[in-house]
């Protein structure tokens, strides 16, 4: 991961207790050469956001599409 230089989109979901900001930042620290774009998505019910977001992915898909188009 240390050699990774591709752009990275890091999306946190509001209320996701499994992927808290500190954990996400720790993971992003493993790709120091990458250009990182951070986003916070207020998506599904915070109590189940970590495992259920794929059932209502429109917001996350919009973030990803925007990221891809900016980097194209």
Stated pTM of the model: 0.83
How do residues 13-66 score in pLDDT, each as one tens digit? Answer: 888 888 889 999 999 999 999 999 999 998 777 777 788 888 888 888 999 999
> 27: which 2 tokens?
């993971």
CA distance 9 to 1: 15
CA distance 51 to 54: 8
CA distance 67 to 57: 15
Contacts of 17 (CB under 8 A, 6+ apart): 50
């Amino acid at each position: 991961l240390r050699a990774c230089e591709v752009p990275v989109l890091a999306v946190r979901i509001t209320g996701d207790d499994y992927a808290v900001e500190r954990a996400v930042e720790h993971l992003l620290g493993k790709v120091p050469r990458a250009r990182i774009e951070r986003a916070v998505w207020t998506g599904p019910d915070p109590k189940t956001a970590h495992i259920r977001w794929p059932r209502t992915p429109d917001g996350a898909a919009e973030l990803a599409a925007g990221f891809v188009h900016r980097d194209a």
